[in-house]
Each structure stands twice: as structure tokens, then as C-alpha cells.
Structure 1
Amino acid sequence: MLAARLNVVDHRLDVAEVSIPEPGPGQVRIAVKAAGVCLSDVHLVQGLLNPMYLNGDVVTLGHEVAGTIDALGPGVTGWTEGQRVALQAGELSAAQVLTRGVDYDGGWAEYALATVATLVPIPDDLPFEQAAIIPDAVSTPWGAITGTGAVRAGEAVGVWGIGGLGAHAVQLLRMIGAAPIIAVDPNPAARERALDYGADLALDAADPDLPMAIRSATAGNGLAAAFDFAGIEAVRRQALPCLGPAGRLVLVGLGPEPMTIANPTLISFLGQQIRGHYGSGPDDLGVLVGLVTHGRLDFAKSISDVLPLSQAAEAVNRLEHKEGNPVRLVLRP
């Protein structure tokens, strides 16, 4: 079969012929129908992110995956061949969070292995391209908003970075009733996208009057929660002073830069918090598929383009350079 394999030492990405994997006990083999391309994949190729638990130097990328069950491993019951599923982006193993396509082989391939605990059924009318991006592109902001950020209806929220995750964060915040929703991004096209996805206000990160604009939009109260989806120190430095009393800054975007807190005493005085977030909970994917099924969410406009698996490197390059300002690019084996 074909698989897009990354050497994490020399950062070479190649689409190559490899053996079709055989499922072991508790596993199934997935015939991959669609796999999302995430900025984390770009960072892996760049070497800005490195797997923590990978056994070896080469991994098949792809943590956003949907397809059909192709074969059952020994002892697997309750699932059938041909069943349509999306895969959790990661799983807990021996007190370690292992990420698909990072710490073990993922879904940029014609076939992929998955443990039964990571399978979530998807309805027949949900396109594979849309189902594939729910793990991570949607479930990570969902977990950040409803779990780590604990956002409630009526709370003022800021979203920094309106890429694939940030755009869906705006959409999800709108659904749960956050108000106002303020999007921040230096890219005019990204700001337009934020408004299209449901933001009440979209501001330029380069505007020196941005903190004042946020205070004005929140009746002087500041933000109850701010989300950094960019993983950039400048974003965190800008977002922190925009918080109101008891405000939460949630760090979702991954980046290597150290974070500087200019006035920690003020954070203590105001009871503010900085919270880290990674991935989503084991039930989040199923909840989100249910919301799609019941018509509360629609990700049709999130699929910016679909490319063949053979063009994985091109997809990475397009996302890295924001060619066409994509929300999500999807690979189809």
C-alpha cells in the first residue's frame, strides 16, 4: 500500500510502498477514505515538534482519519467489516497520551490500524472528508472550550489565530452561546473567515489599540476566556492583559517559545489563570458526531480542498504557506 512516511531525524517526507498492516488483538484495520492535514503535521515535517514516544525514526503521519473497517483482529467483537468510522486522534496507554500519526503510524495511508477504543461510528450521510477533520480540528477546540476553558453561555471570549482550529472554535463558541466572540488575527482573510464562522468582532493583532477595543466590546470587563490557537509567545503576551477578573488564558497552539509574564502580581490579584490544553477527551468525538447528526454543526465549508495521498508533500507546503487560506486540506488515498 501507499503511505506518507516522515523520517523524524532528517525530516524527509516520502510517499512510499509499504506492507499492508495486520490487526492484532483488540485492533481493526481501517481502509482510509480521508485524512486531514493539520498544522501539527507541518510542524512535525519542519522539526518544530518531535514525537515523544515513537519507536524508531519513521512514522506514517495523519491523526485526523475516517474510513471503513476492513478487517477485524483476533477477539474483536461488536464491530463489523464495512462499518463507517472516525478515529480518535490519540489514546491513553500506560499513563502516556499517544498521538496517532506522531507516536505511532497514522492515517496518511491506504490502510491504518486502530484499537477498538479509538473507533467512533459515523452516519452514512456524513462525508468522510468532514468526518476525518472532527478529531483534532474540531474536537481539540471543543475540549479546550467546554473542558479546560469551562466557557459558559454569555461569557466574553477571545480567539487568537483563526486557522483550522481557531475557525472551528469560533463556530463552537457561537453554538454554546458565548458572547461576544472576538477573533484576533493579522490576516485580513482569516478575520473575514472568523466573521463568517460566527465571530461578533474580528480585530487585527497588529492594531496597537486592540486591548482598548476588546475592553470597549466587553463593556470594560475584559475577557472571561482567551484562547491561543497560534502557539506564539506574542499572542500570549497580547492576550493576557485582555482578561478580566478570574479570566482564563488557555494555551492550545503548540510552540517552542518560552512564555513571559510581565505582571504576575496582577494575575494573582485578579485571580486569573493560565491553563494548558492538549487534544480532547475520549467522549468528545462521539458527542461532536452526534451534534452533526442532529443538525447542530456542519463542516461542509471547512473542507478547502481534497488532494490525492500522492500529493501529501504538496498539501504540507500549501498549509505551511497558507496558500489559498485553507481551513482544512484533506488527503484521499
Structure 2
Amino acid sequence: METMLAARLHVPSRTLRVEEVPRPQPGPGEVLVKVEAAGVCLSDVHLIDGTLTPLLLRGDTVTLGHEVSGTIAEAGAGVTDWTPGQRVVLHAGEHRNGVTYTRGVDYDGGWAEFALSAAHALTPLPDSIPFEQGAIIPDAVSTPWGAITETGAVRPAEATGVWGVGGLGVHAVQLLRAVGACPVVAVDPNPVARERALAAGADLALDPADPGLRETVAAATGGAGLAAAFDFAGVPAVREQAVSVLAPKGRLVLVGLTDQPLTLTDGTRFSYLQQRVLGHYGSDMTTALPQLLRLVQAGRLDFSGSISATLPLSRAAEAVARLEKKEGNPIRLILRP
């Protein structure tokens, strides 16, 4: 029996171990992918620390990793669209019987030497895009893309705000500028993150503790407020502050995940101004991935600066610790088998 290395999370004890496991075999309609790069996301940290718990996982252990790129190693029975050696990006999830299963959460992901995928849950990766950049587009880029273009429905020249300029928020800033939002206001308590936001294309980068934040946003928007605000932090204080600077009929899009109750202090004001709160999760991989890969390939978007460091799979626990502690303020750390 062939084996491989995989970083496996035992969910009941929240224990992460890199261990030898049987190399999977593709069944009918599946492909086996040789992993070349896998991103480390804050969601992975939250799975390990217990903030998030898989809802659909069979068993008690899962290989983490939902941002994955690689090459086709083997095709299962009935698969004719993929051949060994093709470069691919794996979708961050799969739809089964109307239910969304997340890779590396509800079934085994890509923190491994090889990963299984349904044949329909892959997108070709152009030769011109490095595996590291291709790997992070599912979730780190596609999630804010979906939040902006679908859930938030941002239109050119609309005033927008991004709270939390981390691994997803920094890409939201870049993408908002790409779709023509104006101004793009970034809010983060970390001065390094604010500098990063300005480099990514933000018109303003503000400290949430700044007592003049509301006045600054009002001045930047001609007194109108923000048409759309995006919460990438998932904390109550962010939501309250974002709502306080929303325009009438403005929408607050919740991207950062939280297991805490969602509350609004002044419900009457919120209703009077006909504002909206919209939940967002992931993206439609069949449209988002081809769109984003096309924009990268054409030079309209560049995520090379998002790759903060690359570590071997054997150091997965170190990568998690570095992200959790924000050591070096990473955007994305990459694991390579």
C-alpha cells in the first residue's frame, strides 16, 4: 500500500499531526491531484483552536487545507476531461445533493502530498501563474470577490469600506479598486495592515480607535456615507462601527466568521435608513475562479505580494502558529509537500 504525508486534525482533541496515511485512490468521477502548493488560512487556525467545527465531516479526523493547486496524477473511471500532468486549482468545496461541503473541513483537503477531487471541482491553472498564487485564489481571493461582486453587488464609483485588512481583507481592497469602487476606505488597528491597504489601492486607511473616523468617512463620501461595508474581522465592534458610517440603504456584508450572536445597537435607526445586513460565505467556484485566473493571466491582478512565506508540509504546525500570532504580519503562508 502506497502512503503519503498529510497534516491531519483530530477534531475532538483539536490535535494537528503530520503523519503517514494511505495514499487515496480516485474512484469513478474523481481525480487524484499531486499537491504543489496549499494555503494556510485563518479558518484553519479556527478549526484547530475550536472556534469552528466541521458540520458534515464523517468521522473525527480530517486533512486540512482548502486552498490547493497541483497537477493531475491519476484519473478515475469515467473521467475524460483530465489527463496526468495538467496544472489545476482545486475548488474550495463541492456541492453534493444541494449541500455545500468545504474541502479541508467536511472532507479531506490539500495539506498532503496528494488530494482527491471530484472531476467537476477543478479549474485549469495557466502555465504563466505560479502554483503558489493559484493555490490562494480559492477563498483568499475568491471569497472577497464573491462578497464584492455578488453579495455586495458593488457598482463603479460606490463608496466602500473594508474592516480587517488581513489575508482576505487586503484582497478585498485590491478587488474593490479593480471594480471601480470609490473611495475605498480600509479600517484596521494594525499600522502595518493600514500601510498594506494603501499599497493595495485603498484611498484611506484608518485606525478604528480614531475618534474622528466618522467625520473622516463623511468628508471622503461627501456626507453620504458608505454604500457598502465589508466586515472581514467577525467581531461586534466592527459591525457597530461599520453600520454607523453606512449610507441610507447601505449594506453591511458579513464575511468574517463568528460563533457569537449578531446584534445591532440601534435597530430603529437601521430600519428607518432601510439598511441591510448580508451574510456571505465562499464563492461560486465555477464562475469566480475562471474570472480571477483570467484577470491574473492578463496582468490586471497580481497576487505575488500576498505570498508571505513558503514552508514544507512537515512544518504545518509552525505555519499555523505564525499565522495565529501574526508573526511578520503574513497575508498567506504556503505549504509545499
TM-score of the superposed pair, with normalisation by structure 1: 0.99
Structural RMSD (CA): 0.7
Structure-1 residue corresponding to 2:324: 320
Note if 1:294 corresponds to 2:298: yes
Name which of 67, 72, 96 aligns with 1:69.
72
Write the distance in 1 (CA, Å) between the matches of 2:324 and 2:214.
29
Structure-1 residue corresponding to 2:262: 259
Name which of 149, 157, 162 aligns with 2:160.
157
Note if 1:311 corresponds to 2:319: no
Write the distance in 1 (CA, Å) between the matches of 2:100 and 2:237.
28
Write the distance in 2 (CA, Å) between the matches of 1:18 and 1:78.
28
Write the distance in 2 (CA, Å) between the matches of 1:113 and 1:263.
48
Structure-1 residue corresponding to 2:243: 240
Structure-2 residue corresponding to 1:59: 62
Structure-2 residue corresponding to 1:40: 43
C-alpha displacement of 1:208: 2.2
1:54-133 to 2 correspondences below 5 Å: 54-133=57-136
Write the distance in 1 (CA, Å) between the matches of 2:101 and 2:275.
31
Name which of 276, 279, 289 aligns with 1:276.
279
Higher mean displacement: 322-331 or 287-296? 287-296
Runs of 4+ in 1 over 3 A off after TM superposition: none
Task: Give the AA of the match of 1:264.
Answer: G
Task: Give the AA of the match of 1:132.
Answer: A
Name which of 15, 20, 41 aligns with 1:12.
15
C-alpha displacement of 1:40: 0.2
Write the distance in 2 (CA, Å) between the matches of 1:205 and 1:269.
25
The CA deviation string for residues 98-149 of structure 1, in whole angstroms up to 9 with x for no partner, is 0000000000000000011110001111100000000000000000000000
2:271 match: secondary structure? helix
Gapped regions of structure 1 (runs ≥ 5): none
Write the distance in 2 (CA, Å) between the matches of 1:245 and 1:183.
20
Write the distance in 1 (CA, Å) between the matches of 2:277 and 2:264.
10
Write the distance in 2 (CA, Å) between the matches of 1:135 and 1:193.
21
Write the distance in 1 (CA, Å) between the matches of 2:187 and 2:237.
12
Task: Give the AA of the match of 1:93.
Answer: R
> Percent identity, aligned pairs only?
65
Structure-2 residue corresponding to 1:213: 216
Task: Give the AA of the match of 1:50.
Answer: T
The CA deviation string for residues 21-78 of structure 1, in whole angstroms up to 9 with x for no partner, is 0001110000000000000000000000000100011000000000000000011011
Name which of 285, 289, 293 aligns with 2:289.
285
Task: Give the AA of the match of 2:273.
Answer: L
Count of residue pairs the alignment pairs up: 333
Gapped regions of structure 2 (runs ≥ 5): none
1:191 match: secondary structure? helix
C-alpha displacement of 1:216: 1.4
Task: Give the AA of the match of 2:194.
Answer: R
TM-score of the superposed pair, with normalisation by structure 2: 0.98
C-alpha displacement of 1:95: 1.8
